[in-house]
Amino acid sequence: MRKLVLAAASIAALILIGPASAQSPVIIKFSHVVASDTPKGKAAEKFKELAEKYTDGKVKVEIYPNSTLYKDKEELEALQLGAVQMLAPSNSKFGPIGIKEFEVFDLPYILPDLATLRKVTDGPLGARLLKLLDSKGMTGLAYWDNGFKEMSANKKLISPVDYKGVKFRIQSSKVLEAQFRALGSIPQVMAFGEVYQALQTGVVDGQENTWSNIYTQKMHEVQKYATVTNHGYIGYVVVVNKKFWDGLPADIRANCEKAMKEATTFGNGQSAKENDDALEAIKKSGKTEIITLTPEQDAAMRKAMEPVYKDVASRVGQPLIDEFLRETGAASH
């Protein structure tokens, strides 16, 4: 009898209180590898602010910047396992989980400016690429910008011959590997969070990145020279765990989608300024000499990297490269 009363009491308590999840906010853990004071860091903060506002606090976004939770490869695995719900890895980082198509964004000089990029990401090709993520247990929500990459090293990088034998840290993209091989360099895949130390200790000699990433990771303090090349682009795909996302109540998901749309407009509207400001700050620090190329030197770099298009055609897919170029309105490579 006593047991029966206890059981009835606990059932009543359950009915009154309800399952914990119905009462507590939905937590979105958003892990990323860069500093908060970067294009991605700021867009993530904006998403948090808007998602919490539009859902009246039913959603709580916890941001873990600067690889505090996971490094590059681990964060994608953690997302697939459901240990975190949201990430924004760069296009260059999806190869190791079996999606190499995003590496098309890594092709040298494929994007002259951000307006051209938008034609791809806002068009049918951009939508189709996001769909590829479904098969990996992810949903692609948006494209976020960082910006254009520059080269840095402890030696002056002016013409292609200067790159011979130089060890460069790269993201995990075969296109980037081919790019540095075309220059006669030695590429080495390394997680973003390890780059500063690798440059400082001489494990690698140089790296390629945007001004905002260089500045906020203090790479300029351990690199004597940086060359304005704008030879490639770093942007992000915002991804969520598909099961988590599909399982959200429809109104909450709709409000999060609205927050994501606005955070994307906000972030992409200020990324170029973030990078301009970082370049100014690097110049002001006086720690890195900034090298600007003449049109002839720029042309020589383009020519040296041109073979990459053929080298990676079978990996990325020639039809995909052609379609990308068509959408950007570029002449073929």
The residues binding ligand LMR (CB under 6 A) are 33-34, 40, 90, 146, 171, 192, 209, 213, 234
Smaller CB separation from ligand LMR, 33 or 175 = 33
Chain-centre distance for alpha carbon 214: 14
Smaller CB separation from ligand LMR, 281 or 300 = 281
Nearest to 236 by CA among 255, 257, 210: 210
Q: What residue type is 294 in one-letter code?
A: T
At which residue do the structure tokens 């873990």 appear? 64
- Token readout for 250 is 């429809």
Cα–Cα dist 233/164, whole Å = 22
DSSP tag of 90: B
Contact (Cβ atoms closer than 8 angstroms) between residue 258 and residue 192: no
User: What minimum distance in Å lies between the beta carbon of 38 and ligand LMR?
Assistant: 7
Cα–Cα dist 213/84, whole Å = 23
> Is 185 in a helix, a strand, or coil?
coil
CA distances 170 to 167, 189, 208, 269, Å, are 10, 5, 7, 27
Nearest to 102 by CA among 328, 317, 325: 317
Smaller CB separation from ligand LMR, 222 or 325 = 222
User: What minimum distance in Å lies between the beta carbon of 300 and ligand LMR?
Assistant: 25
User: What minimum distance in Å lies between the beta carbon of 125 and ligand LMR?
Assistant: 21
> Is 278 in a helix, a strand, or coil?
helix
User: What minimum distance in Å lies between the beta carbon of 217 and ligand LMR?
Assistant: 9
Smaller CB separation from ligand LMR, 85 or 171 = 171
User: What minimum distance in Å lies between the beta carbon of 73 and ligand LMR?
Assistant: 11
Smaller CB separation from ligand LMR, 40 or 42 = 40
Q: Could you tell me which residues are beta bridge partners of residue 228?
A: 292
Smaller CB separation from ligand LMR, 26 or 84 = 84
User: What minimum distance in Å lies between the beta carbon of 186 and ligand LMR?
Assistant: 17
User: What minimum distance in Å lies between the beta carbon of 99 and ligand LMR?
Assistant: 15
Smaller CB separation from ligand LMR, 186 or 330 = 186
Separation of first and last alpha carbons in the chain: 83
- Token readout for 55 is 């859902």
